Amino acid sequence: MKLAQVAVAAPIRNQFTYIVSTACTNNLQAGCLVDVPFGRMIKRGVVTKIHDQPPPPGVALKEISRMLEPDPVVDRPLLDTLLWGSNYYLCPPGEMIFAALPATLRKSKPTSGQHRIQFLVPIDTIDSATIAALDSKAPCQARVLRTLLSQGKTCVAEFCRTDPGARQAIKTLIRKGLVLVEEQAQVRRPAMADLPPPLEVKNLTQEQAAACSKIQSSMDRNAYDAFLLHGVTGSGKTEVYLRAIGHALQAGRSAILLVPEISLTPQLLSIVYARFQTQVAVLHSGLLEGERLDEWHRLRKGEARVAVGARSAVFAPVRNLGLVVVDEEHDPSYKQSDRLPYNGRDLAMVRAKSENAVVILGTATPSVESYTHALSGRSKLLTLTQRVQQRGLPSVEVVDLKKESVDPLERPHTIGPALAAALAETLDRKEQAILFLNRRGYSSLVLCQDCGEGIRCKNCSVALVHHLKEQMLRCHYCGLSIAIPSRCPSCGGGRVQPFGLGTEKCEEEVRRRFPGARVMRLDSDSVSKRGTLHSLLSKFARKEVDVLVGTQMVTKGHDIPGVTLVGVVLADLGLQIPDFRAAERTFQLITQVAGRAGRGEKPGRVVVQTFLPFHPSIVLAREHRFDDFFQREREKRTQLGYPPAKKLLMVRFSHTDEKTALGFSQKVAREFNQIGGRLIQLLGPAPSPISKIRGRFRFQLLIKSGNAKALQEGARMVLKKFKPPTGMKILFDMDPIDML
C-alpha cells in the first residue's frame, strides 16, 4: 500500500500518515498540496514523503481526499530547507511549510473566484449597555463588541490574531445576530507602473570588480559557496549584487535578493526593476493577498526569476536557484521573533546549500556571527574599503552631553550647541540633514514630581509615552492610549510632568530653533498609512525638506545625495538595553546612520551626542575601526559564553497568573538541567526584561550549549514530558535576537 506523510496546516508538531488513493497515485510526490480528512473536517496539507512502511499501530488510516494540482508547490530543495527549519527552530512542520506559501493556499475552501476577506459590522442597536450585560457571562464576546463599536467595521482575522477565544465568540455573535458579516473582494493593486529609466552602467572600482569575479567563478562551479561582502557604506555593494544576479540569470538560473523590511523602498525596487525589468517579482508584507499570489505564481512558473523581498522571500518558489543575496546581513529584522522564530539570513544559507547555489551576505557592519564564519573559512570574505568615486568616509564628531548640558536632569539638551551649530551651517549652505533618534513619541516618560512615580501601562510593565499630537499617553507594547491625567494616579498630586525625549519632541525643537527650516518626521507613527513612507522619502529626495527627524527608518536603504549632516541625538539609548548584543547594535547603528552622510559630491559630517563618549561602540564607530570592534566583541562573547562561541535557546513562558508562569518555568528549568547535564548551562528562569505585556506575565529561560542539538533534544523531551497548565504560552526561540 502506498502511504504519504502529510504536514497539516495547523500548529501541530506531528505529521500524519494517509493512504494514497489510486486516483492520484501516479503523480503524487513530496511537496504536493493536498486536502486530507482530519478529525471531522478537511484540512490543507503538504506531502513530505511517499513511503510504504507499515502504518503506526492502532490507527485507522484514511485516504487523501484530493491532490490540488499535480505539480509540487514546494520543490525538493525548498522542502528540505523547510523541514530542516522546522526541526532546528522547534516549530510545527505545517507552520513552517505554510509560511512559505501564499495564505490563500492554506485554507481548504472552495478556491474558485477571487479571494475574499470577511469583515464584521455591529448592528445599530448595540450600545455600551448591551455590552456591559455580556461582560460577566461572555467576556470574550464583550471584548469583540467593544473593539467593533470603537473602530467600526473590522476584519475577522484582526480579532483572531490578538484574542485566542475570538473565533468562537464571533461565531456565537453571528448566530445571535449581534454582528453582520460583510465580504469584500480583494482588489489587486496594479504592479509598479512607472518604470524608471535604466541606470547608466557604472564603471566598477577595482575592489568591486575583484569581488564580482570571485563570486562569478564560484557560481560557475554550480556548487554551494558563501561570501561575506564587507563593504563600507557607499562602497557600491548594490552594484555587486546586481552583477551577481545578472550572472545567475545568464546561466539560466534564478536569484533571490533579501533586504530588511524597511529598506524595501521604492528606491531599491526601482533600481532592481530598471536592471531586470519584468523578470522581477516582489514579496513583502505590504502586498495584498492577491498581489502576493500573483507574484508567487510568476516565480513558480519561471516567468520571473528574480525574487526581491524581506525575510520570508527566502522561501520564494523560484526554479533552479543559483544565488541568494542577503543585504544588510546584520539587520535584526531577519529574525522573526514572535510567531515562527526563524532567521531569514541563516535559512538563506541552508537553502543555498540544498540548491547548490551561492549565497552573498552583504553589509558595512558584519554581525559578529558572520564575521567569525568568514575568518574561520566557512564563508569567503570580500572587502570593499573604498567609497565609490573616491568619496571619503564622513568625519564623525562625538559630543559629550555631560559637558554640553548645564544640568542634564533639569533641562536636557535635545540638540546641543555643537549639533545646533552644525545644523545651522548645513541649512545656510542649503544642504540637507538627518537627525536620528531611536525613540518615538514626545516624552518617553511622564513623572509625578511629588511622589516620583512614573505613569505606567496597566497591562504592561513599561512607562507610557506622551504623544503630543493626539494629546495622549500611549503604550508601545499593547497600544493602550489614555488621556494625560491632571493628577498623579498613585498620590493624587497635581505636578505631573513629561520628561525624556522622542522624535516628536525633537521635531518640535528643530522647528522652534530653526524657524526657516522645512522639517519632517519619519517614524512608524508618521508612516502608518500605506505608501506614506514612499511619498515622504521622495519629498526629502526632491529637496522639499531640509531636516529629516526619525527613528531606525531613516538609517536604511536610502541614498540621498543632498545629505551632508547626520546627527545622532542620543547614541546611548541602545546601550541601556539588557542584551549581550547591545554594544554590537550601537556600533552598527552609528556606522549605518553615519553612512547616510556624504553620499553625493559634498563630504559628509556626523555629530553623535552621547553621555558615554568613551564607550567602545561609540569610539570605534567614530574611527571606522570595525576590525578592532569585532576582536573586542568576539573576546567578550567567548569569555561569557555567548554566540557565536555558544548556541542559545530562549524559552519564554507567559501566563495571566504570575505564580503559574514562574512555577511552570522553574519546573521546565529543572528538567532541562537534568537531561542536559554538563552539555548545557542554564540562565534563569527570570522575569523577561519587559516582565508583563498585555496582562501576561513573562518569564524566560536562557539555555547555552556548545551544541545546538543538545538544546533541541532537551526542548523536545520537555514537550513530551509536560503538559503546560491552561492558558500557558510557551515560545521556543533558537538563536534569539530580541530578548525583551
Q: Which residues bind DNA (CB under 7 A)?
A: 10-12, 14, 16-18, 36-41, 56, 59-62, 107, 137-141, 160, 164-165, 167-169, 172, 176, 723, 726
Q: Closer CB to DNA, residue 98 or residue 587? A: 98
- DSSP-assigned states of every residue in 592-643: HHHTTSS-SSSPPEEEEEES-TT-HHHHHHHTT-HHHHHHHHHHHHHHHT-T
Q: Closer CB to DNA, residue 51 or residue 402? A: 51
Q: Smallest distance, Å, CB 225 to DNA? A: 39
Q: Smallest distance, Å, CB 587 to DNA? A: 39
Closest CA to 693 of 665, 653, 732: 653
Q: Closer CB to DNA, residue 17 or residue 405? A: 17
From CA 10, how far away is CA 32, in angstroms rounded? 17
Q: Closer CB to DNA, residue 430 or residue 723? A: 723
Q: Closer CB to DNA, residue 41 or residue 193? A: 41
Helix (H) or strand (E) holding 436: strand 432-436
**21 Cβ neighbours under 8 A, 6+ residues apart:** 63, 64
What phi and psi, each to the nearest 5 degrees, are found at residue 37? Answer: -70, 130
Q: Smallest distance, Å, CB 141 to DNA? A: 6
- Nine-digit cell at 238? 548594490
- Nine-digit cell at 167? 473565533
Q: Closer CB to DNA, residue 109 or residue 402? A: 109
From CA 532, how far away is CA 646, in angstroms rounded? 42
From CA 735, how far away is CA 740, in angstroms rounded? 14
Q: Closer CB to DNA, residue 52 or residue 194? A: 52
Closest CA to 352 of 91, 78, 98: 78
Q: How is the chain split among helix, strand and coil, in percent rounded to 5?
A: 35, 25, 40
Q: Closer CB to DNA, residue 641 or residue 725? A: 725
Q: Closer CB to DNA, residue 395 or residue 660? A: 660
Q: Smallest distance, Å, CB 57 to DNA? A: 10
Residue recorded with cell 494517509: 18
From CA 419, how far away is CA 413, in angstroms rounded? 10
- Nine-digit cell at 462? 513599561
From CA 321, how far away is CA 253, in angstroms rounded? 6
What phi and psi, each to the nearest 5 degrees, are found at residue 454? Answer: -90, 155
Q: Closer CB to DNA, residue 140 or residue 393? A: 140
Side chain identity at 458, as an amino acid letter?
K
Q: Closer CB to DNA, residue 106 or residue 625? A: 106
Q: Smallest distance, Å, CB 380 to DNA? A: 42
Q: Smallest distance, Å, CB 115 to DNA? A: 16
Closest CA to 48 of 62, 60, 58, 34: 34
HSE-up of 596 (CA within 13 Å, CB side)? 28
Closest CA to 34 of 1, 5, 58, 77: 5
Burial class (CB in 10 A: 0-12, 13-18, 19+), 738: middle
HSE-up of 485 (CA within 13 Å, CB side)? 18
Q: Closer CB to DNA, residue 3 or residue 496? A: 3
Side chain identity at 13, as an amino acid letter?
R
Q: Smallest distance, Å, CB 49 to DNA? A: 12
From CA 284, how far away is CA 344, in angstroms rounded? 13
Q: Smallest distance, Å, CB 83 to DNA? A: 17
Q: Smallest distance, Å, CB 88 to DNA? A: 20
Q: Smallest distance, Å, CB 632 to DNA? A: 43
Q: Smallest distance, Å, CB 167 to DNA? A: 5
- Nine-digit cell at 366? 558584519
Q: Closer CB to DNA, residue 168 or residue 389? A: 168
Q: Smallest distance, Å, CB 61 to DNA? A: 4
Q: Smallest distance, Å, CB 327 to DNA? A: 33
Pairing of strands 225-231, 358-363: parallel
SS3 345: helix
